[in-house]
Amino acid sequence: MKDIYTYWGYLDLENDKVVFPDLAPLEVQYDNEDSIQEVVQVGLTEHLFGLEVANEAIPEPKSIVQLSKEYPAKSFLSFIAFMASVRSNAQNKNVRKNVLIDKTLNDIAERLSINFSETLRDALELRLMVKEPQSVKVVKIGDIRRKTGRTIEEIADKSRIPLSRLSAIETGTRIMTEKERLKLAKAFDCEEKDLIGAPSLYHPSDISTALAAIQREGVLDGMYGRKEEDLQGFVMLMNDMWKWYRGMRIGWQEAAESKVTRFKKELVRYLMDEMNDHPINVFPFTALGFNGPATFWVEIYEEDEVANGRYTVVLENIIGTSVTNNCENFIPALVETILKDRFYWGELPKQRKGHKYPEICFMERQVDEGAERYFEIMLFPNGPQWKESKLELLEKQSSKSRTYRYIVRAKDLPDPFSKKPGNDRCGEWKGDGCPLVTGIAPDPNYGCVKCSDIARVWRAREWLLSFLSDDEIRNMGRSSEFQIKHPELLASMAQKFTHDDLEGARQLFYYIQEYGGYERMGSITVINNPGYETTYIDGRHRTKVAQILDITIPVMYSTYEYMPFELME
């Protein structure tokens, strides 16, 4: 017996029922379309439990590919039956178990008012993998923000939530508090419930397996009794580490030790990427100290960024000898390696007899119980001198380029080949004539192969939008999911555009999504800034064919101006 079963059923819309071919003659009636998933899942679970009780064989489910061939005109949905709960309800009885545990554990558990029966039951459910998946609500701040055309900096400023915190909430590595939910609802001018997306599922055994692996591969000494903030910080760190670890570009077959080694090497790059949008002025730097290498964090501020009007370099110790003890070695090394090529020196520092670098304000940052203190460092021939100072940053007025996803009539865009025909893109496939030159819409009997393929994708996208919304196509995933959810549309697409070739139709759906401009990479990108000529970064050929077809297309529109469209970048 399995604890989880998955079967495919097709909709009989005329009779308000779902039919399961693998479990014939199982047919489950439903009241309305909103209740399909819940009602049919219950009916499927009860049917399978009846087979278990009668000791009858439970058929293996067929693949969706096989079912689509047997029932080509049917629309299939997948349904999951969780058997643990129905078995538990049917038995509805408890069994007494006597267990021996360590006295220390018993004393701690009693002091914390832990229920032994619940703990044992939960542990067994996780170990045996019979507990049903839990529902986790997904925060969809990013979706709302992009669709309202606002940057994350604007929302942070309006909600008064720190930018780093808001970024973490948006990426899912931090949990949004009730207070933050109220602030964001006000910032977006929406209700709190609008900030929460559809539930996603995870299985508790996934979490228990990960925790068991941590305990098996290492130790968590000293965790008991720590402050709640310490434990929350540990969980946040694990969340960040998992995001980075999961994103590593390494092979699936590499051993665990190899993965750890690779991850350590890439960790600095991950940290650098997240630390600052412009890491050219913020970076770690290592130099030899009197007792070995020392690494400092370096921040460089131009004269117009600080109140003192001086080129300012802030140093903070990461590891090794402190800034205070190593400044005579570290500052000259930093000047020689980096600053000498970035700063104009009137008189060479090596020829000076007094203050060695008066043009640059070197500061050390010290953090004491959360408070930052700054000390200016001055190097003289008889040794360094320090004085307490402040780092006062000025607000910089800067323009920020925004990239929007913009649905526009293709003919309203400028001609992407205004200076030359552009048929060089067609290569050796020019055929009877290139539409980029003739301006005649390509079809199966006219035009080069390249332009005809592009036109076919645009026409197929227009056709598909008469059945599915733009968001449905975006959220479909790849062609395999499209085939599973809409086999009848795939078959129709194959008949209409690919001579009944299903594989060709799947590839066509891939290009429909690519042309849809759902991601920055590979989309038609138009740059339009005041005072400059509108230019194309990508997609000139696709745009020109769309103009010939006179259709509406999605483009990435980069500008310094605010536009009320979906913000992509």
Q: Given pLDDT bands bounded at 50, 70 and 90, which one contains residue 277?
A: very low
Average pLDDT (556-562) is 80
- How confident is the model at residue 279, as a pLDDT? 45
| Token pair listed for 73 | 């005109």
Statement: 4-91 belongs to CATH 3.30.160.250: yes
With b for 16 or more beta-carbon neighbours within 10 A and e for fewer, the 503-538 pattern comes to: eebbebbebbbebbbbeeeebbbbbbeeeeeeebeb
Using the predicted structure, report yes or no on whether residue 425 has a pLDDT greater than 70: no
Share above pLDDT 90 across residues of the chain, in percent, rounded to a whole number:
5
Is 29:16 a contact under the CB 8 Å cutoff?
A: yes
Q: Decide: helix, strand or coil at residue 428.
A: coil
List beta partners, residue 5: 81
| 187-214 confidence digits (pLDDT tens) | 888 888 777 765 555 555 556 666 666 6
CA 498 to CA 491: how far, in whole Å?
10
Is 145:152 a contact under the CB 8 Å cutoff?
A: yes
| 434-481 confidence digits (pLDDT tens) | 777 777 888 767 777 788 888 899 999 999 988 888 888 887 766 667
Using the predicted structure, report yes or no on whether residue 38 has a pLDDT greater than 70: yes
CB atoms within 10 A of CB 38: 10
Q: Decide: helix, strand or coil at residue 308.
A: coil
With b for 16 or more beta-carbon neighbours within 10 A and e for fewer, the 41-76 pattern comes to: eebbbebbbeeeeeeeeeeebeebeebbeebeebbb
In the block, tokens 């290492």 appear at: 218
- How confident is the model at residue 276, as a pLDDT? 44
- Length of the chain as a residue count: 569
Pick 134-246's CATH classification: 2.40.50.100, 1.10.3720.10, 1.10.260.40, 1.10.760.10. 1.10.260.40
Higher pLDDT, 395 or 420: 395
List beta partners, residue 136: 200
| Token pair listed for 8 | 């495919």
How many alpha carbons lie under 13 Å from residue 401 in its C-beta half-sphere?
A: 10
Peptide bond into 25 cis (omega under 30): yes
Distance between the two ends of the chain, CA-based, in angstroms?
Answer: 50
CA 117 to CA 96: how far, in whole Å?
10
Share above pLDDT 70 across residues of the chain, in percent, rounded to a whole number:
77
Q: Average pLDDT, whole number, for the chain?
A: 78
Domain ranges in the chain are 4-91, 134-246, 279-389, 402-567
Q: Given pLDDT bands bounded at 50, 70 and 90, which one contains residue 69?
A: confident
CA 524 to CA 529: how far, in whole Å?
16
Same fold, 4-91 and 134-246: no
Using the predicted structure, report yes or no on whether residue 376 has a pLDDT greater than 90: yes
Please report the beta strands in 13-132, taking only residues with DSSP state E, as ranges in sequence order.
17-19, 27-29, 76-82
